[in-house]
Chain A
């Protein structure tokens, strides 16, 4: 057993840590609202090889482990980074997995940032892929079209709704795209999207655990300086005990997300179940940690000027944009027992 990142992983953490400190400060996060996209940050992430790390050498990448990706995702979540790192990594891994001329060409463009590819992980409704993560800033969306998995350009016909998390979501219609090329067909579509969902769940879990941890730090810092009734409010058990619970859940979320990511390579049979577990736990932890932390700011927490509201809003958005924590609990059951009615 070893719970410390390796030396190489520590270098990765340090490198992304300084990138986010410089390019994703709370000021920059605010400035990127409401769209939720910072082009300069995105350029830096591309330059750092953030897409390349997600795929193996045979596909032009450098084949980092899922655990490596998760360690970066933690920092991404901590910084609320307004750039679609996880979405594009998930899409690149999907393209590498399905293969074929179309997917390979698109992947090559995605790796060096010429195109920004994302995935509609949910089934389109009435010809529209709804609330596609990163859909507002993507050039291409991988989406299910009947029994085919196709790539559609995200063009002027997309609708970009303002949303609680200031995420770059879009409703992307499929109808105007004439004859999109299929990158997978038949049963392979379900598999490709299901595996992509596993990737998304584990990396988003890591990001949410980072959000939860940072939310606790913000709350603890405030409780350690704010005075009420002649005492620092952190000395009241009503405050300190909640923060102790929050810190415990944030650490649990981090451990579980790391274990899930580790399992993708080391215990692949458990990967999908652990990914759903990690997401469900981290989503609830981020939601509750940001809530309590905001609450202990009193009226100030309700003001947009304080950073904690940024965490409050994004933890809720990330925790529900693809799958709710409750649905993730049911997915855990699917992975343990097979689908409902399947016996």
Chain B
């Protein structure tokens, strides 16, 4: 057995960390906190120029041909730097789907621009009445000659206000079971009938509701077959090898450690000498290690070509729930000062702990709630009967 990621990954880590140290500036961080928008044109340009836009892609398509473990290393560093990559993430994800199932015309129209950072693609999956049960989507697409007419609304279309395209899950058939009547489109955002309304969230991130009112889209923008949208969705969802939150937890711990070394209690004792503080810091370090191992296992299995059942869900479930619990623990040991936000210049460690307390909540919800992941583990991993 060998728990090292390997020399190539560690060399890559050093190189990418140096890159991020230059490009994720304090000013950029503040801009992201203030606007709630995890995307920045200048930073995206730097990523593209550095070859970091889609480093897992083959070199001839603009990537670096990195393997899953090297990609994991890149992801760990992005998380460590808290880099604004949400818009890049969705854009590259959709480019990956188009590369897998798109037409030649779609590939040449989208992929070069996506990898050059010239366009932003956002996701239109969730709806007011379809969150975890995303296949219940009701947004209608009806055929009209060579075009489709779309009506409905989507929740959590993050970055729709700056998006060039929305990757839209629609219902094209109501006479079949719900998974069999879905079709996916890449819809240009710059057209009449699309309205975007800002939604602000607990973590400060801005997302949107987007409305589609008689929006016309050419059939050439259909991604995958008619009524085969669920297959296309599956390509999109498995492109993500399993999320994990060890990196944000490590940011949280680093902030709490920096606080503990400096802070004193009312009697002038260093807070790092308090057994309760030490226990909480130790427990956080443990959960980071476990989260890291669970996520690295997923990357290793992908690299080794082993069949995965529940390793991805275990990584996402454990690390998001642990992030939430440990963020609360850090607030508890820091005490009242932990309540000061990022925007208060006296906040301990620039308000990282307060921000993580809020940010962590979302991690247990988006990309499949903890309950969805528990269902997958119980059924696929443990072989328990279908839960309800």
Contacting residues of chain B (293-327) with chain A, CB-CB under 8 angstroms: 293-294, 296-297, 299-300, 303, 310, 314, 317-318
Closest partner residue, chain A, to B285 (CB atom): A332
Given known pairs A248-B318, A329-B283, the reply for A262 and B1 (CB within 8 Å) is yes
Closest partner residue, chain A, to B373 (CB atom): A244
What bracket does the count of chain B residues touching chain A fall in?
35 or more
* Contact across chains for B286 and A332 when beta carbons are under 8 A apart: yes
* Contact across chains for B286 and A247 when beta carbons are under 8 A apart: no
Chain A residues with a Cβ closer than 8 Å to the other chain, count: 56
* Contact across chains for B374 and A244 when beta carbons are under 8 A apart: yes
Which residues of chain A have C-beta atoms less than 8 A from B280's C-beta?
Answer: 329
Given known pairs A235-B384, A281-B290, the reply for A240 and B375 (CB within 8 Å) is yes
Bound: A340/B279 CA distance, A: 11
* Contact across chains for B385 and A252 when beta carbons are under 8 A apart: no
Which residues of chain B have C-beta atoms less than 8 A from A332's C-beta?
Answer: 281-283, 285-286
Closest partner residue, chain B, to A239 (CB atom): B384
Bound: A330/B310 CA distance, A: 32
Indicate the member of A5, A243, A326, A329 with the most B CB atoms within 10 Å. Answer: A329
Closest partner residue, chain B, to A327 (CB atom): B279
* Contact across chains for B293 and A329 when beta carbons are under 8 A apart: no
Indicate the member of A3, A256, A276, A343 with the most B CB atoms within 10 Å. Answer: A3
Residue B191 CB within 8 A of the other chain: no
Closest partner residue, chain B, to A325 (CB atom): B283
Q: Between A and B, how many residue pairs show CB distances below 8 Å?
A: 167
* Contact across chains for B1 and A337 when beta carbons are under 8 A apart: no
Contacting residues of chain B (361-385) with chain A, CB-CB under 8 angstroms: 371, 373-375, 377-379, 381-385
Bound: A248/B28 CA distance, A: 37
Residue A123 CB within 8 A of the other chain: no
A interface SS class: helix
Binary contact track A1-18/B, C-beta < 8 Å → 1, others 0: 111111001000000000
Contacting residues of chain A (271-301) with chain B, CB-CB under 8 angstroms: 273-274, 276-277, 280-281
Given known pairs A243-B382, A333-B281, the reply for A3 and B1 (CB within 8 Å) is yes
B interface SS class: helix
* Contact across chains for B283 and A280 when beta carbons are under 8 A apart: yes
* Complex A-B: 21 CB contacts under 8 Å: A1-B5, A1-B300, A235-B384, A240-B379, A240-B384, A241-B387, A244-B378, A251-B314, A252-B290, A252-B293, A256-B290, A256-B293, A258-B3, A262-B3, A273-B285, A329-B280, A329-B283, A337-B272, A340-B273, A340-B275, A341-B273
Given contacts A248-B377, A256-B293, 17 further A-B contacts (CB under 8 A): A1-B3, A1-B6, A237-B374, A237-B378, A241-B378, A244-B317, A244-B374, A252-B290, A252-B318, A255-B297, A258-B1, A266-B2, A277-B286, A277-B289, A332-B283, A334-B278, A337-B272
Question: What 10 A-B pairs are tightest by C-beta distance, nearest first?
Answer: A332-B282, A329-B282, A240-B378, A333-B278, A234-B384, A244-B377, A235-B385, A244-B374, A241-B374, A252-B290
- Which residues of A are in contact with B by a Cβ distance under 8 Å? 1-6, 9, 67, 216, 220, 223-224, 231-232, 234-237, 239-241, 243-245, 247-249, 251-253, 255-256, 258-259, 262-263, 266, 273-274, 276-277, 280-281, 326, 328-334, 336-337, 340-341, 343
